[in-house]
Amino acid sequence: MKLAVFEWKGARHIGVVSESDDTVTRLDIASDAVAEAGVTALIGRDLPATAEVLALSDVSLLAPVPRPRRNIFCVGKNYFDHAHEFASSGFDSSAAKGAIPEAPIIFSKVPECVVRTGDPIRIDASVSTAIDYEAELAVIIGKGGRNIAPEAALSHVWGYTIVNDITARDLQGQHSQWLIGKSQDSFCPMGPWAVTADAVDLADTTVKCWVNGEIRQDSNTKLLIFDVPTIIAALSNGITLQPGDVIATGTPAGVGIGFKPPKYMVPGDVVRVEISGIGTLENPVEAY
């Protein structure tokens, strides 16, 4: 099931997106409950009654989790080809330990950097001009827990969405850690909606990214170094995961830093991310 968060008649709503992606059926849930929680307002409750059927063209889509309750958990170097690509880039502070990590590399992005499909990715040239894209499958946690075993991990997943983990590579290298370079304003496009866990086959889900119509990333979740159960187990090792937590699972090869010379984003570019079973997330690039 595809679930969208949208603005209509001055309020925020959740609705079920049609299979043809052209209509959304509004759910009868209080607008204030949706305001920041987005689709996570549905976690732990039965699906509300349905109301109007609306054309998607008549509503304004928001990110499925417009403002996460806490930082977005992210996994670095989690596809074999990207791990080698990034280790040779000169920006990888973990490269001394080898290209392929022995355990998941975890960092985070602040909640305030989330934007919706169609919103601009803003480049502030006074801060960075080495801005990169990273197409990623994101997990939305539905049931919290601590020290979750890998074999039980998928029972804690409510659904999935798409994240573009925008990164300022020079800041990433300058600070020898990733939060600042990953958390600039507008650096987490998310959407266009979320899907329930049954809609994604983790063993065979394509992850693709285009810049100005040129395909840059073309991979599959079956090539992850650490799969989703392993990621959830690692994150919950002494940390209590909470319903509504968002986990970005890593990006495949083909990011801008992997080209010689690098193909960083510039104002005027359009970046499109597509993940099978979910949809398409597209954002223009603008100067601040």
Handedness of CA 109, 110, 116, 121 (dihedral sign): negative
The rounded distance, in Å, linking the Cα atoms of 137 and 224 is 11
The neighbour count for residue 28, using CB atoms within 10 Å, is 12
Can you tell me whether residue 128 is helix, strand or coil? coil
Matching CATH number, 2-62, of 3.10.330, 3.30.450, 1.20.140, 1.10.20: 3.10.330
Per-residue model confidence (pLDDT) at position 184: 97
pTM, rounded to two decimals? 0.95
The neighbour count for residue 204, using CB atoms within 10 Å, is 11
Per-residue model confidence (pLDDT) at position 81: 78
The rounded distance, in Å, linking the Cα atoms of 202 and 123 is 33
Residue 252 has, within 13 A of its CA and on its CB side, a CA count of 20
Pairing mode, if any, of strands 167-168 and 206-211? unpaired
- Phi and psi at residue 201, in whole multiples of 5°? -100, 100
CATH classification code of 72-287? 3.90.850.10
Return all residues near 261 (Cβ < 8 A) that are at least 6 apart: none
Return all residues near 88 (Cβ < 8 A) that are at least 6 apart: 95, 99
Domain spans of the chain, in order of start: 2-62, 72-287
Our measurement of the distance from residue 211's CA atom to the centroid of its chain's CA atoms, rounded to an integer in Å, reads: 17
Per-residue model confidence (pLDDT) at position 82: 72
Per-residue model confidence (pLDDT) at position 177: 79
Per-residue model confidence (pLDDT) at position 88: 58
Per-residue model confidence (pLDDT) at position 51: 93
- CA distances to 34, 45, 250 from 11, rounded to whole Å, are 9, 21, 33
Per-residue model confidence (pLDDT) at position 100: 84
- For the stretch 15-60, pLDDT in tens is 999 999 999 999 999 889 898 999 999 999 999 999 999 999 999 9
Per-residue model confidence (pLDDT) at position 268: 98
User: Can you list the residues of the chain whose pLDDT is less than 70?
Assistant: 86-98
